[in-house]
């Protein structure tokens, strides 16, 4: 308790700096998951992707980032076992932020699309198991999180497979694919608007003072979905059929219609990513602030201050603008050849999975989710459509991430323990 009182302000300043550094890493490395499919399918340019991501990543972090933050902050370590030594939790959370931030810096420099969720969860488990003892880690909570890393790519893959097959059946196998696209795409736009609105309104807005019932959220989500659909239809009407001698079936025109849809799915994925992955940066930061402000009381249920979510959102945006374009280009073209229709299926499936997980408080890996969704689209076209070498590299980087985060965190933990004593 005395250490908390003596160094409290220093701990908060360090937590804010390290939290911003970690959020920068999320923006530099992980935002590629939100934007890669849109850029890879050539539906939007990298410049447009960065503008969309800046707006919607920040909104997702601020409006819907609270649920997962609570899990990162209090769901991995057992707070009761740290009640007599709250300073150890502070050292550990600072170590987790610094370790995950450094690992993301290394991975981004090498162009590896690693999981920021793996990085920070591995870091927290690392310092908890070695620095505090195996009993301090809530292994049941860690098991739930780890299972979500397997469930999320599987779920995203199934959703993207079904979506792509529905697009193929309703539109590409139609006698007039272009007319069919204009007929059915507004329905897909409504789906995007409704899903993101529903999860945001039901789970994410309590910390900004908006508490709606399920019925109110459902009704408002339908209205928002219809507004977004009307906007999409207005954009869609500008697309005219262009004859092309080499394109007998008019598929190129269909892809242009899906290009409009990709703008909406890009916004949805950026929002979903911000809502889920801001927790990786601000969860440990919120834990440090909570312990210091309560003079050593450990309460995993305390509210996340609004400015902490804004700090995390700002860090993500800064990382994206300064370094994100490299990994966006890699993810967008590496796994499989994407067109706007394929990219739509993958992105909407990933966004749906991420916002559902964000709503239930599970810190899933956006990287795993999007790769699962892209694999689902690739499998719908056959194994030959997948670049197995790139997939192998991505999986290897995933396997390295957990031990790397844990190892760095243990080193930093003992460093802080020695400095503050």
Q: What is the pLDDT of residue 30?
A: 77
Helix count and strand count (H, E) for the chain: 14, 0
Domain of 60, in residue numbers: 2-175+273-420
Q: What is the pLDDT of residue 24?
A: 92
For residue 294, which phi and psi values (nearest 5 degrees)?
-95, 10
The verdict on residue 356 lying in a domain is yes
Between the alpha carbon of residue 230 and those of residues 234, 238, 240, 246, 293, the distances in Å are: 6, 13, 18, 33, 47
Look at the chain and report how many structural domains it folds into: 1
Q: What is the pLDDT of residue 218?
A: 85
What is residue 286's three-state secondary structure? Answer: helix
63 closest CA partner among 270, 226, 365, 225? 270
- Whether 329 and 41 have beta carbons less than 8 Å apart is answered as no
What is residue 178's three-state secondary structure? Answer: helix
State the DSSP H helix or E strand holding residue 244, giving kind and residue range, or none if neither: none
The verdict on residue 160 lying in a domain is yes
The verdict on residue 370 lying in a domain is yes
What residue ranges of the chain have pLDDT lower than 50? none
Between the alpha carbon of residue 21 and those of residues 5, 180, 285, the distances in Å are: 25, 47, 11
The pTM for the full model equals 0.78
The verdict on residue 33 lying in a domain is yes
Residues 6+ apart with CB under 8 A from 199: 64, 355, 356, 358, 359
What is residue 386's three-state secondary structure? Answer: strand
Tens of pLDDT, residue by residue over 267-326, are 877 877 777 677 777 878 888 888 888 776 666 555 667 788 788 888 888 888 887 776
The verdict on residue 226 lying in a domain is no
Q: What is the pLDDT of residue 226?
A: 94
Q: What is the pLDDT of residue 227?
A: 93
The verdict on residue 34 lying in a domain is yes
Q: What is the pLDDT of residue 37?
A: 73
The verdict on residue 157 lying in a domain is yes
Let me know if 321 is exposed, middle or buried by CB neighbors in 10 A (0-12, 13-18, 19+): middle
Rg (the chain; Cα; Å): 22
The verdict on residue 220 lying in a domain is no
């Amino acid at each position: 308790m005395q250490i908390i009182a003596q160094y409290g302000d220093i701990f908060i300043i360090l937590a804010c700096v390290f939290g911003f550094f970690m959020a920068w890493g999320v923006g530099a490395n992980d935002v590629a998951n939100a934007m890669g499919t849109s850029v890879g399918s050539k539906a939007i340019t990298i410049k447009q992707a960065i503008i969309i991501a800046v707006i919607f990543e920040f909104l997702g972090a601020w409006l819907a980032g609270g649920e997962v933050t609570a899990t990162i902050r209090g769901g991995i370590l057992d707070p009761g076992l740290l009640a007599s030594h709250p300073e150890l939790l502070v050292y550990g959370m600072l170590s987790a932020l610094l370790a995950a931030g450094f690992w993301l810096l290394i991975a981004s420099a090498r162009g590896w699309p690693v999981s920021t969720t793996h990085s920070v969860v591995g870091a927290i488990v690392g310092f908890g198991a070695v620095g505090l003892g195996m009993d301090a880690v809530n292994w049941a909570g860690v098991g739930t999180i780890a299972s979500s890393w397997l469930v999320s790519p599987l779920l995203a893959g199934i959703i993207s497979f079904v979506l792509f097959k529905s697009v193929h059946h309703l539109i590409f196998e139609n006698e007039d694919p272009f007319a069919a696209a204009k007929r059915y795409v507004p329905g897909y736009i409504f789906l995007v608007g409704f899903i993101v609105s529903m999860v945001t309104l039901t789970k994410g807005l309590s910390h900004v003072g908006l508490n709606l019932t399920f019925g109110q959220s459902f009704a408002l989500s339908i209205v928002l979905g219809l507004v977004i659909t009307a906007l999409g239809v207005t954009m869609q009407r500008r697309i005219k059929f262009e004859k092309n001698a080499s394109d007998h079936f008019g598929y190129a025109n269909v892809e242009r219609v899906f290009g409009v849809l990709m703008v909406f799915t890009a916004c949805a994925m950026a929002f979903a990513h911000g809502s889920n992955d801001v927790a990786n940066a601000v969860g440990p930061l919120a834990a440090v602030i909570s312990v210091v402000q309560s003079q050593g009381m450990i309460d995993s249920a305390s509210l996340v201050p609004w400015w902490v979510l804004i700090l995390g959102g700002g860090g993500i945006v800064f990382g994206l603008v300064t370094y994100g374009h490299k990994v966006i280009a890699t993810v967008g073209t590496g796994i499989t050849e994407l067109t706007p229709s394929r990219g739509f299926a993958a992105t909407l499936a990933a966004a749906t999975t991420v916002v559902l997980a964000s709503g239930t408080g599970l810190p899933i890996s956006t990287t795993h989710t999007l790769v699962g969704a892209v694999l689902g689209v690739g499998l719908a076209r056959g194994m030959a459509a997948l670049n197995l070498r790139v997939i192998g590299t991505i999986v290897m980087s995933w396997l390295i991430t957990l031990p790397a985060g844990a190892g760095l965190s243990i080193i930093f933990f003992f460093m802080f323990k020695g400095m503050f004593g």
